[in-house]
Amino acid sequence: MSTIRLTMAQAIARFLTAQKTEIDGQVVPLFGGVWAIFGHGNVAGMGEALHGVRDTLPTFRAHNEQGMAHAAIAFAKASRRRRMMACTTSIGPGATNMVTAAAVAHVNRLPVLLLPGDVFANRRPDPVLQQIENFSDGTVSANDCFKPVSRYFDRISRPEQIIPALQRAMAVLTDPADCGPVTLALCQDTQAEAYDYPESFFAEKLWTPRRIRPDETELAQTADLIRSAKKPFIVAGGGVLYSGAEQALAAFADKHGLSVGETQAGKSSLPHDHQANLGAVGVTGTGAANALAEDADVVIAVGTRLQDFTTGSWALFKNPNRRIVGLNIQAFDATKHNALPLISDARVGLEELSRALGSWKAPEGWTGKAREEKTRWFDTAARFTDPTNAELPSDAQVIGAVQRNSQPTDVVVCAAGGLPGELHKHWKALQPLGYHLEYGYSCMGYEIAGGLGVKMADPSREVIVMVGDGSYLMMNSELATSVMLGHKLTVVLLDNRGYGCINRLQRATGGESFNNLLQHTNHVTLPDIDFAAHAASLGAQAVKVKGIGELEDALKKARNAERSTVIVIDTDPLASTDEGGHWWDVAVPEVSVREQVKTARQDYETALTAQRVGD
């Protein structure tokens, strides 16, 4: 057996360069690069190793470990999970900064390879700088925090252990069902240890997507159930986009006269003007999609994990006889809430299900209702997104301005607060992947870093990041990274002076405005933050605008800018779209001295009666 002597870290770097995939007939590196913030736990080992492969596996420097992992996750999502990135950090806070991002990837089923430094395997310098000491367990390190948010976890304490660990890591990262974050905690002394690795370990490997075909029995049962339906309805989730099943979904809906509601992850599966697309479904859904979801007797859930925002906390599907079909690559998701599972890749599953259904079509009366509801919703939505002369515009009016100044190929990026709900209802995506929302973990601070990852995945598309002042303050450092790397973003920063979304939720559940908007917090002096000046200090072009007219002018200029632009606009913290949507289960206190809370509790108990769990 031919071998090559390398350090463990060099072996990792060389292995990663050998992993390939095929996109549109072209073989490309599977790993788009490695994000690295070096410290004493990885600068000597991984730092030297990455320097050696810098021409084939680029290393990118970030400003925050969580931010760089968000960028890597967004890169994978924008690449339909066909490509991915790795992230390396030092031991200690550098590593634990990535734990939140690992949870983002875990919830959203997205691949990212996390390579945090770890303690010394030989334990001679214990406790090493930044080491967490567990009084009762000598094997614990800070990296154990990654275990519940990793699909696969391993701690590498011998150089030869990296061989099976990387093989297992790749199996998880490329598996459509088990896909998610992999953490390989790298003991810092082991990174520098040499071993005679077999050269075959570094042979080029081509990874192509595995497309699981449906079981014949499940397929027949599903077709029989749908044929019996009088009011069938499709819920399209992120799995549609990961599978590249948009055309299959459109053909399936057209052939069988079915209507589609899109989850946050599934939005842009169909063009907004496609006759079958009723838009967002669930808590932040359109009036059209939710009207059909409420009456549906068969809900065909394609590539969705059916979280509570999609199901209206399991109170949206009100038909007492409704059944759910779970067309999903992962059995865990396909069988939720007593669903009839159709375990399959989304594209293949839709194609084979369509053949099994033959010429069957949904009743014309049901299809006609969908058309009527869609027309009604379009008229309603326009009232919220059309410009007015309001001194403080609503989020929806800002979205309308951004939409009017966008192109079909643009990508809008967002993550948390009130904006995701307004975007879910109002954004009109025309091309696949044109809507990029992190709403599985709804992680504040994802937005700018995520936008950077999207731009790196496809530099040909304009990326528009929409972010509130709260999320911007929580994490903005990768704005500087976007300037440094030459990846231009347009950031629209909506300043409502606090956490406006949670303030509205607080009031809706009977609470008094408290500790959300800045004016309602414990303060001596209210902050008056100059966001434009801050963004400019990070190297971006920046401007503060007043009103929708100035916003539209600034958006036109930003499109032609050479580097990232931040446009700041003050908005109304109380206004939101009160049409569409659905109840969401947020528990209200049973006991309170405040009458508003008592009233809200009564309404809450009434709403709970609509929940249908486990049937």
Residue 157 shares a structural domain with residue 266: no
Residue, of 491 and 514, whose pLDDT is higher: 491
* CATH number of the domain where residue 260 is located: 3.40.50.1220
Judged against a pLDDT cut of 80, whether residue 234 lies above it is answered with yes
Closest alpha carbon to 191 in 142, 156, 141, 167: 156
Most confident residue range from 249-258, 498-507, 572-581? 249-258
Q: What is the mean pLDDT of the chain?
A: 96
| Domain's final residue, options 360, 377, 394 | 377
pLDDT of residue 150: 98
pLDDT of residue 24: 92
527 inside domain: yes
Residue 347 shares a structural domain with residue 445: no
Mean pLDDT on 48-72: 98
Could you tell me the strand order of the sheet in which 112-118 lies? 59-61, 31-36, 84-89, 112-118, 181-187, 152-156
Whole domain around residue 257: which residue ranges? 216-377
| Domain's final residue, options 327, 354, 377 | 377
Residues forming a β-bridge with 457: none
Give the pLDDT band (50/70/90) at residue 527.
Answer: confident
Residue 243 shares a structural domain with residue 176: no
Q: Give tens-digit pLDDT for 64-99.
A: 999 999 999 999 999 999 999 999 999 999 999 999
State the Cα–Cα distance between residues 409 and 414, nearest whole angstrom.
17
Q: Is 589 exposed, middle or buried (0-12, 13-18, 19+ CB in 10 A)?
A: middle
Give the pLDDT band (50/70/90) at residue 614.
Answer: low
81 inside domain: yes
Residue 160 shares a structural domain with residue 300: no
pLDDT of residue 388: 87
pLDDT of residue 283: 97
Mean pLDDT on 362-391: 94
Residue 267 shares a structural domain with residue 407: no
Residue 414 shares a structural domain with residue 363: no
Judged against a pLDDT cut of 80, whether residue 558 lies above it is answered with yes
Judged against a pLDDT cut of 80, whether residue 615 lies above it is answered with no
pLDDT of residue 526: 86
Q: Is the pTM of this model over 0.85?
A: yes
| Domain's final residue, options 164, 188, 207 | 207
Residue 328 shares a structural domain with residue 414: no
* CATH number of the domain where residue 435 is located: 3.40.50.970
State the Cα–Cα distance between residues 589 and 449, nearest whole angstrom.
37
Give the pLDDT band (50/70/90) at residue 247.
Answer: very high
Q: Is 132 exposed, middle or buried (0-12, 13-18, 19+ CB in 10 A)?
A: middle
Judged against a pLDDT cut of 70, whether residue 19 lies above it is answered with yes
Q: Give tens-digit pLDDT for 389-448.
A: 888 999 999 999 999 999 999 999 999 999 999 999 999 999 999 999 999 999 999 999
pLDDT of residue 245: 98
335 inside domain: yes
Residue pointed to by tokens 């605008």: 545
Phi, psi for 542 (deg, rounded to 5)? -150, 145
329 inside domain: yes
- Cβ density class 498-536: b for 16+ within 10 Å, e for less: bbbbbbbebbebbbebeebbbeeeeeeeeeeeebbebbe
577 inside domain: no
Judged against a pLDDT cut of 70, whether residue 486 lies above it is answered with yes
Task: Give whole-number Cα distances, 107 to 86, 100, 152, 203, 221, in Å.
Answer: 18, 11, 14, 32, 30
Quickly list DSSP for 412-479. EEE-SSSHHHHHHHH----STT-EEE--SS--TTHHHHHHHHHHHH-TTS-EEEEEEHHHHHH--THH
Q: Comparing 70-79, 153-162, 363-372, 572-581, which segment has the lowest mean pLDDT?
A: 572-581
Residue 227 shares a structural domain with residue 156: no
582 inside domain: no
Judged against a pLDDT cut of 80, whether residue 613 lies above it is answered with no
Rounded percentage of the chain residues whose pLDDT exceeds 90 = 93
581 inside domain: no
579 inside domain: no
Residue 273 shares a structural domain with residue 405: no
Residue 414 shares a structural domain with residue 542: yes
Rounded percentage of the chain residues whose pLDDT exceeds 70 = 100
Judged against a pLDDT cut of 90, whether residue 175 lies above it is answered with yes
Residue 20 shares a structural domain with residue 136: yes
Judged against a pLDDT cut of 70, whether residue 387 lies above it is answered with yes
Residue 404 shares a structural domain with residue 496: yes
Judged against a pLDDT cut of 90, whether residue 178 lies above it is answered with yes
In total, how many domains does the chain have?
Answer: 4
Amino acid identity, residue 204?
E
Judged against a pLDDT cut of 90, whether residue 497 lies above it is answered with no
